Amino acid sequence: MTDIVVEQDGTVRKSTGEIVQFRYGADGWDANYLVRVFLNDLDMDPVKFSEKHVNYTWKMYKESMVREKFLKKFCGANVENEKKWKIALDEEMRNISTLHVSLQKQKSSILQGFGQKPADTLFQPINIEEELYSLEHMHNHLAFRTKSDLGIYELLERTSEILRKLHEFTGPNESRDYYILTNLCSRDIIVKRHLSLQIFDKLEKIILRRYRRAIVEANEMVGSLAAESFGEPCTQMTLNT
């Protein structure tokens, strides 16, 4: 196994050129930079899931006594963006719901195949919830004292751009996309946290930097690392030696 390395194109090959994996670990990430995160509401019924993420915002819209104040608060300074705001909200929910249904189907197939329920967790290079908490404290941000200057349409574009760049780094990954979309949705970022554009800019840079850093480097001797991982529990991790 010592001759197995990661090549410049991201594939894992032997010294003879034979391909072992098209992408190291199926995701191309170095395990040293990953943390355990949770997928929100993966077990929730699709109808209730839609109600949670959409009706919360629409309820505020309908109950708002002054329509222009609401639009200025959640669409930016231009009140004429009402139609664009509605389209953005529908598109955001459609993207999240599509991934939600797909992951539920994958989970049910795993459940039928192995007879056990897989955990709603995965390993990612960043815990977005913790980073948001840190940034809010760093900037002394209090949601009930401020209002967001980040529009829903702008948030959707920025989130789509993050996913596009991550697709370039490590390829498509539905679990990763779902994790990012549910943590950067308008319900949490704008309505609940009232996050400012300045804080979101820093969060976006942190997310992209963490994902870039987690990519396994070329010429990494992954075969030797795997061999050491197999041997360690039999030698150094027992009291029988």
State pLDDT tens for residues 103-151: 888 877 765 555 455 557 888 999 999 999 998 888 887 666 677 777 7
CB 33 within 8 A of CB 210: yes
For every residue of 35-62, DSSP letters joined together read EEEE-TTTTS-HHHHHIIIIIHHHHHHH
> Which residues, 6 or more positions from 31, have their beta carbon under 8 angstroms from its beta carbon?
25, 123
Q: What is the pTM assigned to this prediction?
A: 0.78
CB 195 within 8 A of CB 189: yes
Mean residue pLDDT of the chain comes to 76
Whole-number percent of the chain with pLDDT over 90: 15
Instruction: Name the residue among 205, 200, 189 with its Cα closest to residue 143.
Output: 189
Whole-number percent of the chain with pLDDT over 70: 71
Tell me whether residue 80 is exposed, middle or buried, using C-beta atoms within 10 angstroms of its C-beta: 0 to 12, 13 to 18, 19 or more: exposed
Confidence of residue 200 (pLDDT cuts 50, 70, 90): very high
Instruction: Name the residue among 33, 20, 13, 34 with its Cα closest to residue 218.
Output: 13
Number of helices (H), then strands (E), belonging to the chain: the values are 10, 5
Using DSSP's 3-state secondary structure scheme, residue 20 falls into: strand
Confidence of residue 63 (pLDDT cuts 50, 70, 90): very low
> Would you state the pLDDT for residue 151?
76
